[in-house]
Structure 1
Amino acid sequence: MSAPSTPSGTLLQLLPEAVVQADARWEITYLNPAWHRVTGHPVEAVIGRSLLGFVHPDDVGTFRAGMPVFRLRFADGEYRWVRLQLHPESDAAGRVISRQGVLIEITEVTEQILVEVRQRFLRLLETIDGVVWEAERGIGNTFLSPQVERLFGYSVEEWRSDPGFWRTHVHPDDLAEALAIDDAAYNATHSYAYEMSYRLTAKSGKVVWVRDLCRAVVEPGRPNRMIGLMIDVTRQKNTELELLRSDNRYALATRGSNDGIWDWDLRTDALHVSERFHEILGLEDTPHVHDGGWRFLQQRIDPDDRGRVQAAYGRHLAGERPNFSVDFRAFHGSGRLVWVNWRGVAQFEDGVAVRMAGSLSDLAERGSSYDGLTNLPGRPLFRERLAHAIEAYRDEAARADAPPTLVGTMMFAVLLLDLNRFKAVNDTLGHHAGDQLLQQVARRLEACVRTGDLVARMSGDEFNVLLEAIEPAEALERARQIVAALEVPYDIGEHTVASGASIGLVTSTPGMISVDDYLRAADAAMYAAKSRTSGVCVFPAEGSGETQPG
């Protein structure tokens, strides 16, 4: 192959240094005669072959990246250090089309060039925020970068003067593990990368956390050696330890509250829950991460409560509430329904909710929200459910374009009932008998209502019922069914007890705006019902067929 186009083609033929030219794919396109003299390879046998095929495999990466000093395979099969600074030539589009340079065997370079290379290497080391090191068994560190003094206070000479220096300065609590890793590297049968973290005692006595990125180098005919980079990670380690202590404190606090904890990534729909969360729902031995967060929750929430749950956290995500808290019935792993409280708060980025977190409580264990005697929800839960029903009804009724059928689905009724002759049972048969009567009344009330309705014990012998999505006439009929069911005698031990109930009924109306409005109206109707033979009094009177109490 002819020489490259150059005004000094003859001069290149006469140069004592080897001139090398390769194309963009590293294929050799030109060599002057000095190539044969320097490397021993005939020029004709090399033209057209890849230059990278002559570079030591361990040096190919750095050579391609622009490092001019590398090992080249000579004709005798030995690799020798050479210097070849290739200068790329590009086309109009900036693409490399060829590379040219002069090859010099390293033994022939001047001392000035060696000093230049060393200075460049040291300047490179100064940019690394860590200590670069090399070590061999029995010798200790054969090389240490100057940063060792800045990070640990020891000079390079102090450190290298003692082959066992590193081992004697590793923290005693970390020494056994560090030595095991170190010995494994010295006895390795193949090269490999590894890392370890440990504490090192600095010259000042301060303990420094070190992350050591290492490589065991195994070469035939010579002892194993290690090279690595020690980085001071004290600040990061202290942050990790503080986070761990904080997590432990938080974990202890949550265990003390007996609540289940959850964390929901809304971008991926991954729901992370604690062990206590699963315990409340009877789902022990279940993975703590659910990839489909809402799908998992839907399966646990009673279908009649799902819409209410979605509405509760939906108002929070829409910015209408600072957080959310909702009580609902959940399917327990045993198949039964349990009342739980689910509450939380969202994290927003640029106005978009990206994450929610909070807790889950078993309401059966919270006396203020749940009645332990009758196993019914208590006053707080009933008020929360009623407030939700009032808000949904008012929102739909206020919309001028809302179809009547939609408003009708938001209608509801509140029943307040008081047992008749309950005090007499307590006085004659004792409080234990009175408790059994209340428990039987609770079960009969649950049997009289639909799945989505709510029965609650407010206090003493007073119960409330919330009937949702119901017309006034149907609510009245349901109240009469309850009266009939409660009039059937009760078997309490060896005694048969006759009792009944007086019920006050109030249906949804735009004129009432608060929970207390409805409860006061139901209470007034209930006292009026005590004088009625039907046992039921409706407030207000429109369309009920009953007389409004006066």
Structure 2
Amino acid sequence: MPDRLTPPLELLQLLPEAVVQTDALWTITYVNPAWHKLTGHSVEEALGRSLLDFVHPDDTGTLRSGMPVFRLRVANADYRWMRLKLQPKTDDAERVISRQGVLIEIVEITEQVLVEVRQRFLRLLETIDGVVWEAERGVGNTFLSPQVERLFGFTVEEWRADPGFWRSRVHPDDLEEALVIDNAAYNATHSYAYEMSYRLITKSGKVVWVRDLCRVDVDKDRPNRMIGLMIDVTRQKHTELELVQSDNRYALATRGSNDGIWDWDLQTDVLHVSQRFHEIVGLSGAGGLHDDGWHFLQQLIDPDDHERVQAAYRRHLSGDRPNFSVDFRARHGSGRLVWLNWRGVAHFEAGVAVRMAGSLSDLAERGSSYDALTNLPGRPLFRDRLEHAVALHRDHASQAADAPARADNTFAVLLLDLNQFKTINDTLGHHVGDQLLQQVARRLESCVRAVDLVARMSGDEFNVLLESVDHVGAIERARQMAIALAAPYQLGAHSVTCGASIGVVSSQAGFATTDDYLRAADAAMYRAKSHSLGVCVFSEEGARGKGAL
């Protein structure tokens, strides 16, 4: 749930300025109507997405570091300069749990704004968890932030006294490669950004891993100048090495299932994934370390499945589930959509989830979860989606017992059975029957929205989950399906008709479990078939003839 807002929500809704609130992982939890007027993006489009998705790629680091001025993508795909000073809210352990601020467009970047940004940058140098440096050939470091003493034990004066000091502290096993990169920068003919990782020996003799994010600036008639940020990544390196060892250890065990392995540090948002993980999502050339774990995962998950995936792991983190497993659509590197299963378990310290680990699998490779003939999800995936819909509806009902059901929490289950399928299959052959099932699947998909789910349960039986739909809307959708399925099918040289019997049960029935809804849909479908009704809506009085359409 979003943090309680101050001033009251009603007042925020009326403000002419765009108010933005995010959680600790930059996911937008609230924007007022002024957001749409300023950016052109709808409120619904923003909620649940990362704020960083709307920021120019070159400015995401600036925003994350606390700088208030950046470029934001508006609805027509252009970027405009904005100012957003986010005020963080922290828990008792001083961990950020949310951020809130007012988004303002900067028509002209005035001198006052530039001065403010510069002052903010200088203050950040005092608190940033890394060493900011600047260097020139023959001079050594022309600037070094004071964090060098806290991280590596040397004072600024000690480090800058000797132009070759940095080279003397790089671990001997990494020095040759580091010098090749360093010398290339000193002799570069154009400006560019680069990065290197190496071990550095601190004043106490301890060896730490350093990630150096650098840029070489080449200006005519002056020596090349380098600027950079040295970050202690010893903990991340150790975790990465542990993951590699774990990946090797479990390679044989996972080879049969072809699962990918992942390990997520929730405190740093660093996500480590195995090579197989990247292969499953079509990113086989990517590295195994992702500094912005949730942003990386969000880019993979189909937008229509974001909310459901987030709800699954949040229920686990809140303690409602001992582990989590969720099926979703992902955008493969080739551009096609694939169905994946993401599952794992979190490690808690003092009641707070600090780390998660688990596996990722391609449902197309799990026959019971994915139907190869119709290219539709199977029974396990459908049950998972239905269980999620039932839980959301039940949670809303328990929190607001006297309030009417919200449209985004209502749903309906449809069970369809083809009426003449066995006859067609027996007289024209199984290959014709298979073609018929494939065409039925495509017609059903054409009758639903992206948020809905069509699944093949077995044989000629299909299930449809309609989400964010009321009772009347579900009945109308079922009628459309009945009409679409009743039209003739052209199967090679044969033209056949094959209607369907459809049972419908909506969430207003108020059942407690997934099985209750499936049994009710089955009962309605059986009545539709036995009485040639076409579509039948479940009701307690169904045996007395009510509910038929």
- The TM-score, its normalising length taken from structure 2, stands at 0.54
Q: CA deviation at 1:265?
A: 1.0
Q: In the alignment, what sits opposite 2:268? A: 268
- Residue 404 of structure 1 and its aligned partner are, at CA, apart by 2.6
**Residues 101-153 of structure 1 deviation map (CA, whole Å, 9 limit, x = unaligned):** xxxxxxxxxxxxxxxxxxxxxxxxxxxxxxxxxxxxxxxxxxxxxxxxxxxxx
The equivalent of 2:492 in structure 1 is 493
Query: Within 5 Å, which residues of 2 pair with 1:305-316?
Result: 305-316=305-316
Change (3 A) 1:467 1:331: same
Q: What is the match of residue 443 of structure 1?
A: 442
Displacement of 1:511: 3.8
Question: In the alignment, is the contact (CA less than 8 A) between 2:501 and 2:532 conserved in 1?
Answer: no
Over residues 411-441 of structure 1, what are the superposed CA-to-partner deviations in whole Å (9 max), with x where a residue is unaligned? 1100000001101111111111111111111
Aligned-pair CA distance for 1:243 = 10
Q: CA RMSD in A?
A: 3.0
Cα distance per residue 1:206-263 (max 9 Å; x no partner): xxxxxxx9xxxxxxxxxxxxxxxxxxxxxxxxxxx99987653312322332011111
Indicate the residue corresponding to 2:457 in structure 1.
458
Residue 368 of structure 1: CA displacement? 1.3
Query: What corresponds to 1:63 in structure 2?
Result: none
- Give distance in 1, aligned partners of 2:250 and 2:296: 25
Who is 1:399 aligned against? 399
Q: Which residue of 2 aligns with 1:382?
A: 382
Q: CA deviation at 1:397?
A: 1.2
Cα shift at 1:402: 6.8
**Residues 383 and 514, structure 2, Cα contact 8 Å, conserved in 1:** yes
- Residue matched to 1:351: 351
Q: State the distance in 2 between where 1:304 and 1:436 align.
A: 29
Shift of 1:466: 0.3
The two structures have a TM-score, normalised by structure 1, of 0.54
Structure 2 runs not aligned, ≥5 long: 1-167, 174-204, 206-240
Q: CA deviation at 1:195?
A: 7.0
Change in 2 beyond 3 A, CA 1:389/1:246: closer
Q: Within 5 A, what are the aligned runs for 1:51-450? A: 248-400=248-400, 403-404=403-404, 406=406, 408-450=407-449
Confirm or deny: 8 A CA contact 1:480 1:534 kept in the other structure. Answer: no
**Counterparts of 1:444 and 1:242, CA distance in 2:** 49
Q: Percent identity?
A: 71
Are the aligned partners of 1:479 and 1:536 in contact in 2 as well (CA < 8 Å)? yes
Task: Confirm whether residue 471 of structure 1 aligns to residue 470 of structure 2.
Answer: yes
Contact 1:397 1:510 in 2 (8 A): no
Write out per-residue CA displacement over residues 336-370 of structure 1, whole angstroms, 9 at most, x where no aligned residue. Answer: 21111000111112211111111111001001111
**2:535 maps to 1:536:** yes
Larger radius of gyration: 1
Rate the CA distance shift 1:514–1:287 in 2: closer, same or farther, 3 A: same
SS where residue 248 of structure 2 aligns? helix
Q: Deviations over 1:57-88 (max 9, x none)?
A: xxxxxxxxxxxxxxxxxxxxxxxxxxxxxxxx
Greater shift in the superposed pair: 282-291 or 364-373: 282-291
Long gaps (5+) in structure 1? 1-190, 197-212, 214-240
Contact 1:455-1:463 at 8 Å conserved across structures: yes
Relative to structure 1, the CA distance from residue 491 to residue 340 in structure 2 (aligned partners, 3 Å threshold; closer, same or farther) is same
Would the aligned equivalents of 1:417 and 1:502 in 2 still touch at CA under 8 Å? yes
The structure-2 alpha-carbon separation of the partners of 1:357 and 1:474, relative to structure 1 and needing over 3 Å to count, comes to same
Provide the secondary structure at the position in 2 that maps to 1:263: strand
Count of aligned pairs between the two proteins: 317
CA contact (8 A) 1:412 1:508 kept: yes
Q: Deviations over 1:476-514 (max 9, x none)?
A: 010000011111111111111211111000011364111
Which whole-Å deviations, capped at 9, do the CAs of 1:172-217 have from their partners, x for residues lacking one?
A: xxxxxxxxxxxxxxxxxxx999879xxxxxxxxxxxxxxxx9xxxx
The residue identity in structure 2 corresponding to 1:250 is: Y
2-structure distance, mates of 1:328, 1:348: 25
SS at match of 1:357: strand
Distance 1:245 1:320, change over 3 A: closer
Structure 1 contact 329–338 (Cα < 8 Å) conserved: yes
Separation in 2, partners of 1:366, 1:442:
19
SS state at 2:335 partner? coil
Are 1:539 and 1:548, in contact at CA under 8 Å, matched by a contact in 2? yes
CA distance, structure 1, for counterparts of residue 430 and residue 335 of structure 2? 33
Cα gap change, 1:262/1:528 in structure 2, threshold over 3 Å: closer, same or farther? Answer: same
Partner residue in 1 for 2:218: none
Letter in 2 for 1:469: S
String of CA shifts for 1:27-85, please: whole Å, max 9, x gaps: xxxxxxxxxxxxxxxxxxxxxxxxxxxxxxxxxxxxxxxxxxxxxxxxxxxxxxxxxxx
User: Secondary structure in 1 aligned to 2:361?
Assistant: strand
1:276–1:402 distance in 2 versus 1, CA, 3 Å: farther
